[in-house]
Structures are given as structure tokens and as C-alpha cells.
Chains A and B, each alone.
Chain A
Amino acid sequence: MNHKQEKVKSYRQPLSKSRRGFLGTTRNIGLAILGGLTWSAYVDEAKANKLLLRPPGALKESDFLKTCIKCGLCVDACRNRNGNIIFDDNGKRVGTKDPTLRLAVPGDNKPLGNPFFIARENPCFMCDDIPCVPACPSGALDILSVTNKKTKKLDINMARMGLAVVHKESCIAYWGLQCDACYRACPLMGKALSINMQMNKRTGKHAFLLPVVHSDICTGCGLCEKACIVEKAAIFVLPRELAMGKVGTHYVKGWDKKDQQRVGVAQSIHTIDKRSEKKAIDKLNNPGGLLDD
């Protein structure tokens, strides 16, 4: 038996039982980590989709994703809502129109199975009885968020599905042409969406009739987006976190009594660093080599 054969043979020696067990366990743990990491990477990507509109009363996205059980009861309710069912002449139900809400399917590139809507295709009609919200068993659609605290009645105007924004350059009203399609489509006409009149200096004798959205009233239903007459809607609904800015606490409306109260409780912040060792006036008198002596 030459040297080479001997070596091959030694590799083939049966593993001891404990060593076999150890290797097996290690392999399983390794595979579990591999699988787990791949899986989380996928799920983490899939949930990152921010550009979608949720049904009325939906919790904030991170809570919504863990709370919604994907049962589709809201979709059922939206499909079978008043006014969406088609009857024939004898009053017999023959079918329904497509519902606003749908569950994301493979191919939508949205978190699978959660309800959403696409306003340009099928906006939310802001049903008075909001059938979709009470249908939700999980609380992912929060009924309290759309219930008037005083009257204890459902109030769809409290929904905040998104916020309509206007892209001025593609809105023909900003060109000076007359169009108020979105304004007339808005269920909260004059409150969520108003018309701002301005003089058209180009012609000198006409007015611009400009649509302006008010974020404190707009529900994000998307009826305006659906109604917009240009090729790709110039007014469209975005999720509120994307559409809205935030001032922060360091600006106060001095003319607003309530806002002004914030100043009363404000505290000043002292920053101590190398430069605060000297008084400001000394600093000015001796700028330290900036000017020629």
C-alpha cells in the first residue's frame, strides 16, 4: 500500500458518533442562520414600500403591518358596500363593481396580503357608514380614529388616508385654462380643496382658478386624483408622511395666542465649548490673527 492510498483511506475513516452529532448540529445551525438571514432580508425589503395608501382608519404603517392579519374582511365590505352592487331591472343582484380596497397579490410589489388602494384607478368614496372599518377584526383599522368623540358616530371626514398634492406645472389651471374638475369631485369641496383666484398678468383680463389643498381637512380619498383630466394626474394623493413637512419646535407663531404659550415653558440651552471661554466682546476685539496687527 503506497502513501497516497493510505491518505485516501484515512479520510474515509468513519466519524465517531459524537463527532458526527457535533457536525450535524453545526450544519443545521449554519443552515438555519443562512435561511433566517435570507428570509429577513427579503421581508425587510418588502415592507419598505412607502408609496401606498391604506384604507380609512389604518394604524401608522409600522403598527399596521404587524396588526393586520390579512383577512380581507375590509375588502369584502368595500366590495359589498351600498352603491357598489349592480342590480338588474328586477332588483336582482347581478354583481358588483370592483372595490376600492384590494389585497396586495404577487406582482403588486407591495407587502403581500395587506389592503391598499390606487386612487387614480379606484378612489375611496368616503362612505358615510364606512363599512370597511367596523369589519376589521384586528384593529388594524382603528374605529376610534374615525369616530366623533362627542356624537359617538362614525365620521369618514376624520380619515387620513393620505394627502393630495398639486403639481403646478402639469395642472392646466396654473396655465390659465379653466378647469375645476378636482374641486368639484372633492367630497369636502371648499374645505379640503379650495379655489384660489389670481390675476392672469399674461392676458391682463383673465383669472387663474388655482386648486389649493388644505392638509388639515383633506382625507386623502383620491376622488380629485381620479377626476383630474390631464394624462397623468396633476393632483394626486401621497401618504401623509411623504407629503408633509415639519417645522420643529424652534419657530413660534407670535401672533397666535395658543402657539405663543409654548414660549412660556421654553428653556434656554447653554452650549459650553472652547470658544465660550472668552467673552464675546473680547472675541470681537481680538479676533486672533484674522486681522494684521
Chain B
Amino acid sequence: MTRVRYLIARRVVQVAILLLYFGGNYYGWKMLTGDLSSSSILGTVPLSDPYAVLQMFVAGAVISSNILIGAAIIFLFYALIGGRAFCSWVCPVNIITDAANWTRRKFGFDMVAKKQPSTRHLRYWVLVISLIISFFLGLTAFEFVSPISMVHRGIIFGMGFGWAAMAILYLFDLFVLKNGWCGHICPLGGFYSIIGKFRLLKVKHDSVACTGCMNCKVVCPESQVLHMIDKVSVPVTSGECTNCGRCIDVCEDNALGFFLKVKNNNEGEINNEKNE
């Protein structure tokens, strides 16, 4: 039986965050106001999207101290601890692209189009291009087109045709490119992949316990990060891992788990090569 511990935990966190934002606007709650671009906890602690702030900076905006502190808090949290956890624990688009992935597996669309006509490095190109455009046009280029914000703001402030963005993301991931948006294009995911490279929270692998069923690689939205499975007992170091914990959920042999590397010891990096 497939276990769903982290999956449920993530959905609870994602929905709770959306609910707090929504209530902040519609019911006047003070807990969390604003949206993922910039918000405020209890009207005092500022939080800001560091990628949006980077675009503002490149565009030549004067950055207020409130925004700067907010961006620093978020930046440090993901750079030091969470890595790309924003993607799997906070971002509302994750629910949509996960749904597309699930549909793919359920109905076997993976069998029809096996070839992936794109590279996962695309997102870094998009990231760089967004900064170049921000510089030349003097505005925040990705924030002008971001489907993440369309969906997210749609839930908090009113949707308009934002549902079309949701449908496009779902259909694109389902029929055009597997993990298309989150795994190939999204520059915000790319941004967190880069800054999360040296995060403390990682997934560790025990290749001795592993039976090589490859359930983890099937569910992983960034399966290239699991190259060590059934080979060596090293943790997942790639910044592209979203720390979603789905692999841990589906592993029936306790060969995967989270670990928080606080001291610089080599726990989890024990180099016992698998010898069959």
C-alpha cells in the first residue's frame, strides 16, 4: 500500500497558507496578509519573494527596507534550510502539476509520448532572460506573465480569467511535456534550485536497504536527482529536489528519509557502495 504521510502534510500546509491569505483579505484576519509576492505576518514580520525583488532591483526600482528585510528572511530560510521546499509545500501551482502527473500515471499517458523534447536546464535560461528583459524594459518581467501569481492571486483576490492559466498548466503538463512547467520552465523553481543547493534539509538514501523497486523514481517530479538510488548511499544533493518527500512516502523498504544536516558530519554520506 502506498503511504501518503508527506503528501497529506503538504496539502494541508498548502491549503492552510492559501486559506490564511484568503481570510486576510475577505475576513480581515491579521495572521497572514498580502500574497506570495509580499506579505506580512500579524502586520509586523515582512516576507517577500526574493526572485521578484531581484527583478525589481534589475529593473532599477528603489527597494524599500520592508521589502528588503522580507526578501532576506525568505531567502535565508530556503537557502539554509528548506531548499526548494517552496515548490512542494507552498506554491499552489504544485497542486495542479501534481494532479497532471497523477493523471498521466493513472491513464498511462507516459506510454504514449516517451520522448521528452526539452531539457530541464531551460528554467535557468528563462531565469536569465527574465532578468535581461527586466533590465531593458524597466519592469518585473516574470511577474507580468507569471501563472503562479495568476493562480495564487486569483484565489485570494478574485480569479477573472485566471482559471485559464490553471487549465493551461494542467493540460501542458498532461499532454505536452511531463513535469513541463515545474520541472522545465518555471524560473522561480529554478531560482530556488540555485539558492537551495546548500540547504540543510535533505533526503538521504540507504542503498543497502533499497530493493531497487524504483517506485521513488516513478513519483519523483525531478527524477534526475535520484541518480544514486540502488547504487550508493549518498543524500540527494541537487538543488532541483523539491523536498516533497513523495519518494519517502512510496518507499516500502525504509531506504529513504529526511535528515537535517546541522553539524558537518557525514551521516547519510556513508560511502558503503552497494555490493551485490
A residues sitting closer than 8 Å to B (CB atoms) are 28, 32, 35-36, 39-40, 42-44, 46-47, 62-63, 65-67, 69-73, 75-76, 79-80, 85, 93, 95-96, 102-103, 105-108, 111-113, 137-139
The 7 closest A-B pairs by CB, nearest first: A105-B160, A71-B38, A106-B161, A107-B161, A71-B34, A107-B160, A66-B61
B residues sitting closer than 8 Å to A (CB atoms) are 24-28, 33-35, 37-40, 46, 48-49, 52-53, 56, 59-64, 66-67, 70, 125-126, 128-130, 132-133, 136-141, 143-145, 149-150, 153-154, 156-162, 164-165
In angstroms, Cα B62 to Cα A67, docked, is: 7
* B264 CB, min distance to chain A CBs, angstroms: 36
| Main SS class of interface, B | helix
Q: Tell me the nearest residue of chain B to A77, going by C-beta.
A: B33
Residues of A within 8 A of B125 (CB): 28, 32, 35
Q: Do A69 and B48 contact each other (CB < 8 Å), given the known contacts A32-B125, A43-B144?
A: yes
Pick from B33, B129, B132, B140: contact of A66, CB below 8 A.
Answer: B140
* A77 CB, min distance to chain B CBs, angstroms: 9
In angstroms, Cα B35 to Cα A165, docked, is: 36
Interface centre among A28, A62, A65 (most CB of B within 10 A): A65
Are A71 and B129 interface neighbours, CB within 8 A?
Answer: no
* B18 CB, min distance to chain A CBs, angstroms: 13
Identify 21 residue pairs between A and B in the complex whose beta-carbon atoms are under 8 Å apart, listed by A's number: A28-B125, A43-B133, A43-B139, A65-B139, A65-B140, A66-B60, A69-B38, A69-B67, A70-B37, A71-B39, A72-B25, A73-B38, A79-B26, A85-B28, A96-B28, A105-B154, A107-B160, A112-B144, A112-B145, A137-B48, A138-B38
Q: Tell me the nearest residue of chain B to A40, going by C-beta.
A: B133
Residues of A within 8 A of B149 (CB): 70, 112-113
Contacts beyond the supplied A85-B28, A137-B70: 8 A-B pairs with Cβ under 8 Å: A36-B133, A43-B145, A65-B140, A72-B25, A96-B28, A105-B154, A105-B162, A138-B64
